[in-house]
Homo-oligomer: A and B are copies of this chain.
């Protein structure tokens, strides 16, 4: 079985771990990962979603904190702060090594796709990790106070506090899906939209030319709600959905995926009436979506992949 999953940060990474376990030995998994959160920090090319996905799949992520590497240290960023650099982006030392490596390889002419593949192979990740695009797409947050912030400025530096008036994907008109992404979608038996932020994680991926059409045409696309009873398990999906004029609920997520999805997974504890989602033209599965352990992730993955 060939599975392709679209993912952003931690929620996506957790389901990918489950999918990787579920297909082990009997199938292939490709992860198409958002790069709209990418940023240049300390002059280094940071790909937060690509890295967090890779670290989770490699079993080296800090699963408590959610981001970065387990047991990482912070000598470099602390030293940068002492030198007067803006040190609000707290990259760990080994995490920074990934970014130094990526930046050096990009400068030598490698693509984001090639570098992500080098890194996942070095970390012995069997899943293919595909950045959504090799072109620069940058998610920017237009704030109600008039400021336009890079996503990481809004998300990390300002801790999602400024009210959002609009979300923009700078560079999107000139971007194309990265090599292999469209193939991974058309080759897949199942496409999974991970329980990632629908606006800033899945949103940029499906905005790339060809991706939305590929999903529309695909016979089996399953999305997992990142909201349970209107509340995201992690991250600012609620604030961003509100700004996008969506209903902040599983039904609101399903509505935004209505033309893409064939099936939608609601958490077992979600009070959403399945009929509200079914009315959008997709079937509904109810199951536990809280991935507090790798076993829970695998159980959810197996449920999604059931024929």
Contact = CB atoms under 8 A, between A and B. Distances in A.
A269 interface: no
A75 interface: yes
A94 interface: yes
Nearest to A104: B43
Contacts of A44: 100
Interface in A92-134: 93-94, 96-98, 100-101, 103-104, 107, 118-119, 122
Nearest to A73: B75
Interface stretch (A82-90, A260-268, A278-286): A82-90
A139 B108 CA distance: 22
B103 A80 contact: no
A79 interface: yes
A77 B75 CA distance: 12
Contacts of A78: 97
A79 B107 contact: no
Q: How many copies does the complex hold?
A: 2
Q: Binding site of A, secondary structure by majority: helix, strand, loop or mixed?
A: helix
Contact of A101 (B72, B83, B118): B83
Given A76-B96, A93-B75, A97-B76, A82 B122 contact: yes
Contact of A122 (B73, B84, B104): B84
A122 B77 CA distance: 15
Contacts of A43: 100, 103-104, 107
Contacts of A82: 122
A44 B44 CA distance: 10
Which of A79, A96, A98, A119 gathers most chain B CB within 10 Å? A79
A122 B80 CA distance: 11
Contacts of A122: 82-84
25 contacts: A42-B100, A42-B101, A43-B107, A44-B100, A73-B75, A73-B93, A75-B93, A75-B94, A76-B94, A76-B97, A77-B97, A79-B93, A79-B97, A80-B97, A80-B101, A83-B97, A83-B98, A83-B101, A83-B118, A83-B119, A83-B122, A85-B101, A85-B104, A93-B93, A96-B100
Given A76-B97, A83-B119, 20 more contacts: A42-B100, A42-B104, A43-B100, A43-B103, A43-B104, A73-B73, A73-B75, A73-B93, A75-B75, A75-B93, A75-B94, A76-B76, A76-B93, A79-B93, A79-B94, A79-B97, A80-B101, A84-B122, A85-B101, A93-B93
- 9 tightest CB-CB pairs across the interface, nearest first? A43-B104, A79-B97, A75-B93, A79-B94, A76-B97, A83-B101, A80-B97, A76-B93, A83-B122
